[in-house]
Amino acid sequence: MNKGILYGIVTYILWGFFPIYWKFLHPVPAMQVIGHRISWSFILLIAILLITRQWKDFRSTALKPKVLGIYAIAGVLLTINWLVYVWGVNAGFIVETSLGYFINPLLSVLLGVIFLRERLRPMQWVPVGIAAIGVIYLTFVYGRLPWIALALAFSFGFYGFVKKLAPLGSLYGLTLETGIVFPIALIYLLFVEFTGTGAFAHDGTFITALLIGAGAVTTIPLLLFASAAKQIPLSLVGLLQYIAPTLQFLIGVFLYKEPFDQSHLIGFGIVWAALIIFVIENYLAHRMPVEPIPEMGEG
Query: Is 38 within a domain?
Result: yes
The total number of structural domains that make up the chain: 1
Whether 120 is covered by a domain: the verdict is no
What is the mean pLDDT of the segment spanning 291-298?
A: 51
Residue 106 falls inside a structural domain: no
Query: What pLDDT is attached to residue 298?
Result: 60
Per-residue pLDDT of 104-130, as tens digits, reads 888 888 888 888 777 878 888 898 899
Residues 241-287: tens digit of each pLDDT: 889 999 999 999 999 999 999 999 999 999 999 989 888 887 777 56
Mean pLDDT of 65-80: 94
Model pLDDT, residue 118 = 77
176 within some domain: yes
Query: Does residue 86 form part of some domain?
Result: yes
Task: Using the predicted structure, report yes or no on whether residue 13 has a pLDDT greater than 90.
Answer: yes
Q: What pLDDT does residue 293 have?
A: 47
Chain segment 165-188, per-residue pLDDT in tens: 888 888 899 999 999 999 999 999
Please indicate, yes or no, if residue 19 is contained in any of the structural domains.
Answer: yes
273 in any annotated domain: no
Task: List the domain range (segments joined by +) for residue 11.
Answer: 3-101+149-260
- Three-class SS of the chain: CCHHHHHHHHHHHHHHCHHHHHHHCCCCCHHHHHHHHHHHHHHHHHHHHHHCCCHHHHHHHHCCHHHHHHHHHHHHHHHHHHHHHHHHHHCCCHHHHHHHHHHHHHHHHHHHHHHCCCCCCHHHHHHHHHHHHHHHHHHHHHCCCCHHHHHHHHHHHHHHHHHHHCCCCHHHHHHHHHHHHHHHHHHHHHHHHHCCCCCCCCCCHHHHHHHHHHHHHHHHHHHHHHHHHHHCCHHHHHHHCCHHHHHHHHHHHHHCCCCCCHHHHHHHHHHHHHHHHHHHHHHHCCCCCCCCCCCCCCC
Is residue 129 included in any domain, yes or no?
Answer: no
| 178-235 pLDDT per residue, tens | 999 999 999 999 999 999 999 998 889 999 999 999 999 999 988 888 778 677 765 5
